[in-house]
Amino acid sequence: MKTRLRVVDCLLEVHDARIPFSGRNPLLKEALSIRPHLLVLNKMDLADLTHKSRILEQLERQGLKHVLFTDCLKDENIKEILPLVTKLISNSERYQRAENVESCLMVIGVPNVGKSSVINSMRRLHLRKGKASRVGGTPGITKAVLTKIQVCERPLMFLLDTPGVLSPQIGSVETGLKLALCGTIRDHLVGEEIIADYLLYTLNHQQQFSYVERYGLTSPCDDVESVLKSIALYLGKTNRIRVRTGTGDVTVRAPNYNAAACDFIYSFRKGHLGKVMLDQA
């Protein structure tokens, strides 16, 4: 990424709107800070933005003056990216690129926050063209810094998609759980049932009880094992196991806790459990 900086005019950092403060890789900004910078907080449709102004104030105190909330599924606020970066580029030194009529942005951020989706959304709006970057629901879809991808004709603008890069040291266990819950860390590295436990704690703490109705529970519950058992039975996610008794082996059906945890997490990531803000301003 650093070797491609000579052709880059501005950095477009994409992050998950549900965790505007947690998990952003400080090493990326330090290594690439010689260029103008716009922070795009994507997946705003999944985030509780009740205190959006406080979030923006705190980000500004951290030195981030240019922040935009977006939703790639509906192309919401995507059209605002181009005027913002054009202004940032025009107000900055372009070094050896002053004679170039084209502009180039480098899209950076942690895995699975929607970097490729932002690129495809910009192409869809400005060029009426389809996907140029692969997207997916798991981290690690983009493997290398790609060649320049055109996203606009007038002004002539290109983007460089890059792999998601996590900080080598995650600040705290809770930050790691937030990243895992938002899908920036592969589930099996943390454990689906551990992620589900943190999700249940978060929903109860924020009094988001839509999971009760979704999974046919009688009331909110703090015990993740009990909740996962209820989810498994509600969804029919059970395993046949052999149990040895005093009169011989019998086959019984047991709840599949892992399958229940996966469905619980999936429902959260799709917004079926309500809008949530994992970081508090």
Distance between CA atoms of residues 137 and 43, nearest Å: 13
pLDDT in tens, the chain (281 residues): 878 888 889 999 999 999 999 988 877 777 677 789 999 999 999 999 999 999 999 999 988 999 999 999 999 999 999 999 999 998 887 655 556 678 899 999 999 999 989 999 999 998 987 665 555 455 544 544 567 888 888 889 999 988 888 887 888 999 999 999 999 999 999 999 999 999 999 999 999 999 999 999 999 999 999 999 999 999 999 988 887 777 777 787 899 999 999 999 999 999 999 999 999 87
For the CA atoms of 223, 225, 230, 231, the dihedral, rounded to the nearest 10 degrees, stands at: 110
For the CA atoms of 205, 186, 161, 87, the dihedral, rounded to the nearest 10 degrees, stands at: 10
Exposed e or buried b for every residue in 52-79, given b needs 16+ CB within 10 A?
A: beebbebbeeeebebbbbbbbeeeebbe
Helix (H, G, I), strand (E, B) or coil at 201: helix
* Tokens representing residue 208 in the block: 């988001």
Residue type, 23: G
Its sign, for the CA torsion 62, 66, 71, 76, is positive
Angle 257-269/192-205 helices, nearest 10 degrees? 50
Distance between CA atoms of residues 59 and 22, nearest Å: 11
* 24-30, Cβ contacts within 8 angstroms, sequence gap of 24 or more: 24/109, 24/110, 25/109, 25/110, 25/165, 25/166, 25/167, 26/167, 27/165, 27/167, 27/168, 28/1, 28/108, 28/109, 28/165
pTM of the model: 0.88
Pair 253, 238: CB distance under 8 Å = yes
Residue with tokens 């400080």: 26
Distance between CA atoms of residues 201 and 245, nearest Å: 37
Residue type, 55: I
Nearest to 27 by CA among 97, 107, 90, 108: 108
Residue with tokens 């938002």: 182
Distance between CA atoms of residues 178 and 77, nearest Å: 25
pLDDT given for residue 171 in this prediction = 81
* Tokens representing residue 132 in the block: 């140029």
Is residue 226 within a helix (H) or strand (E), and if so which, with residue range?
A: helix 224-235
What are residue 125's phi and psi, to 5 degrees?
-80, -40
Residues 6 or more apart whose Cβ sits within 8 Å of residue 131: 120, 123
Residues 6 or more apart whose Cβ sits within 8 Å of residue 89: 9, 10, 36, 103
